[in-house]
Amino acid sequence: MKFCSECGAPVEWRIPAGDSLPRHVCAACGAVHYQNPKMVVGCIAEWEDKILLCRRSIEPRHGLWTVPAGFMENGETTHEGALRETLEEANARVEIGPLYALHNLPYANQVYLIFRARLLDLDFSPGAETLEVRLFDEAEIPWDQIAFRTVRRTLTRYYEDRHGGEYRFHIATIEAADGRRR
């Protein structure tokens, strides 16, 4: 951020009075511009003993596989966001179930919320950001071609839980490889 989104004047990077962290502060109108983490919402869409994965047609991680997920939008709930992303990326209709995993990615200023969901029919197809959509059983999961560590971790827990006979809610933090936080 270089300019104030309220008045167009240049912003400074400093700690506002009464605050404890540096913020973008407008030198002209005094507006303080906060920046906060974003939520990524998505789902593990289940059909019998298979799950739905999408192969990405966009960067980052073009060509790799993920569960349907994306940035939550203003004006929607977490489960509405997961439903929308599944429709956009896989043209797939799901019934959203329980929250399954929350992953903190503090270095990326993101929190991933992945629900379990029930795929309602087999009429799915690639959306604009997807090359290919298909159902995988456990033996077919392309573990070395999963797009994101959060997704790999979520699916690993998912199959552990399935073998253990009970799906439990998971919460965990994924740190940057170099330990940085911002």
**Which residues sit at the interface with a second copy, rule CB under 8 A?**
1-11, 18, 20-21, 24, 33-39, 71-80, 88, 98-99, 102, 104, 106-107, 109, 111, 128, 169, 171, 173, 181-182
**Min. distance of Cβ 179 from a second copy in angstroms?**
12
CA atoms within a 13 Å half-sphere pointing along the CA-CB vector of 165: 0
- Report the distance separating Cα 101 and Cα 24, nearest Å: 33
**Min. distance of Cβ 173 from a second copy in angstroms?**
5
Beta strand ranges found along the chain (DSSP E): 11-14, 23-26, 32-33, 38-47, 50-56, 65-66, 69-71, 94-105, 110-119, 130-136, 170-173
**Min. distance of Cβ 100 from a second copy in angstroms?**
11
| Degrees, nearest 5: CA angle 30-34-40 | 160
Query: Closest CB to a second copy among 106 and 126?
Result: 106
**Min. distance of Cβ 128 from a second copy in angstroms?**
7
Query: Closest CB to a second copy among 86 and 141?
Result: 86
59 within 8 A of 146, measured Cβ to Cβ: no
Query: Closest CB to a second copy among 22 and 142?
Result: 22
- Report the distance separating Cα 47 and Cα 149, nearest Å: 23
Query: Closest CB to a second copy among 75 and 143?
Result: 75
- Report the distance separating Cα 103 and Cα 15, nearest Å: 29
**Min. distance of Cβ 42 from a second copy in angstroms?**
15
Query: Closest CB to a second copy among 49 and 75?
Result: 75
